[in-house]
Amino acid sequence: MLNTLSGRFLILTTVFVMLAEVLIFVPSIARFRQDYLEDRLERAQIASLALLADEMIESDLEKELLENAGVYNVVLRRDEMRQLVLSSPIPSPIGATFDLRDAGALGLIRDALVRLVKPGNEIVRVIGAPVRDAGLLIEITIETTPLRLAMIDYGLRILLLSAVISVLTAVLLFVAVRMVLVKPIKGVIGYMQRYAAAPEDARGIITPSAGVIELREAEEALQKLQVELTHALKQRERLAQLGGAVAKISHDLRNILTSAQLFTDRIEMSEDPLVRRLAPKLVNSITRAVSLCEGTLAFGRAEEPAPTFSLVCLHDIVDDVAESENLVTGDCQVEIINAVPRPAMIRCDKEQIFRVIMNLVRNARQAIAGGTHDGHVSVSLREEDNAWWILVADNGPGLPKKARDNLFTPFQGGARKGGSGLGLAIAAELVRGHGGHLDLASTGPDGTVFEICLPKGDGAV
C-alpha cells in the first residue's frame, strides 16, 4: 500500500495538509489569546461601571464583580487621572506587563507561544483601550493558568479539526488520483505486460484513449514504440533466421504450385494429341517456376504481414481446403470431412487461417497416405464464451517421437521421411499472430488431433 503511487500520494497529502494547518494554528492561537485578554478587559470595564454609578459599594459586591470579570484589580484612566476602581489582594508579585494597544502581530504570536509552552501560574498586568471611548486606558491584573488552559483547549480543538480535514481531503484526493491517474496508468501497464508476453500479437499494441493530455501523450509514445519494436523484432528474427524464413515461403509456394501440377496430371490424360504433347512442357515450366522462386527468395526478405481481421464463414474455408486436397490420388483413399456448421462465423484473417488448416490437413493426409489403409481427416468447430476452438482430427498412425519432441521447430519437426516440419511452424506462427495458440491435443495409433484456439474480443480485457 505504502509503495503504490496512490498510497504515497495519500501520505504526502495528509502531511502537507497538516503542515498547512500548523501554519494556520500559530496565528490562530495568538488571535485567541488576544481575544481572551480583550474579553477580560471588557468584563473589567463593565464591572467598574457599578462603582462609577455608586462611588461606595460593599466589599462583598466588589469581590463578586472582580470574580465575574476574572481579574484581581481594575485601573481606569479617565481625564488624565489614573484611578484604582476595583481591587483585591494579589497572591504574588506581577511578573509581566502586556500592552494590547500597540502590539504587533509578531509580538502577539511570540507572547502566545511562550504562554502556551510555559507551565505554572503567574500574575500579569494587561493594558488596553476601553470600549466606546470610556476613558484613555484600562488596566487589569489576572493570573495566567486559566488563560493557558483555555489556549490548550482551543489548540486541541483546532488540531482535531485539522486532522479530520486532512484525512477527509487525503481520502478524496486518493480516490480522485486512483480514478484519474492510477487506473489509466494500470491500463497502460496492462498493455505493456500483454505486449511483453506476446510481441507478435498485434492486439497487444495500445490504442490511445486517455483524456488527460500528458497521459495520452505517453500512450501515443508507447504505441509508436511498440509498433517500431514489433517491426524491429520481426526484422531481427528474419535476419537471424533468413534461411528458415525463405524456406517457409518456399514451402507454401510449392504447395500452391503442387496444386497446379495436379491439374497438369489430369490434362495428360486427355485424348487430344495437342494437349498430350504440350502437357509435359507445362509440367517443366511449373518446375522451373518453383526453382526460380526459390532462387529469387534466397536473396530477399520474408515477413509475415499482420492479420486483417474480419468475420468469415469457417465452413467455406474448410470446403476450399477439402477441394484442393481431394484432387490428390494415391494408394490409399483419404476423405476430407467438413464437420463445421455452415452458419458458424469466426473473427480471423481468412487467408492466413486457410493456410493454417491447409497445412494441418495436408500433413494428416500425407501421414494416412503413407500407410496401407484408407482414412479420413475431419475439421470441426467448438465455440466457447471467450474463444473458438478448431479441431483437425485424423485416424492416421500418429506422430513419431522425434516429431512430438520438435513439433513446431523448423527442419526438425517433420513427421514423415523427407518432411521439413515447416508446415506446423508456419501454422503456429500464423495462429500466434491472431493472439491464439496451436496445440497437439492427442496422438497415437488411433489418430492425431490438433487444436487451434482463436480468442474472441480485441485482447484489451
Helix (H) or strand (E) holding 337: strand 334-338
- CATH class for the domain made up of 307-461: alpha beta
The winner for highest mean pLDDT among 106-120, 252-266, 385-399 is: 385-399
Contacts (Cβ under 8 Å, ≥6 apart) of 346: 311, 312, 314, 353, 381, 388, 390, 454
C-alpha 13/C-alpha 6 separation (Å) is: 10
pLDDT at 311: 92
pLDDT at 397: 87
For residue 446, pLDDT over 50 is answered with yes
Terminal Cα-to-Cα distance of the chain (whole angstroms): 24
pLDDT in tens, 109-122: 888 888 888 888 88
pLDDT at 296: 46
Q: What is the mean pLDDT of residues 21-32?
A: 84
CA dihedral 252, 200, 314, 328 (to 10 degrees): 20
Residue whose C-alpha cell is 535476419? 239
Reported confidence tier of residue 291, pLDDT bands at 50, 70, 90: low
Q: Mean pLDDT in the chain?
A: 78
Reported confidence tier of residue 380, pLDDT bands at 50, 70, 90: very high
Distance set, CA 381 to CA 277, 305, 365, 392, 451 (Å): 46, 26, 19, 9, 10
Q: For residue 436, which of 321, 326, 352, 336 has the smallest C-alpha distance?
A: 352
Residue 422: other Cβ atoms inside 10 A:
22
pLDDT in tens, 127-149: 888 877 666 788 888 888 888 89
For the chain, the structural domain boundaries read 5-164, 241-303, 307-461
Strand-pairing partners, residue 77, are 82, 137
User: Which residue type, as a one-letter code, is found at position 377?
Assistant: V
The phi and psi torsions of 126 (rounded to 5 degrees) equal -120, 130
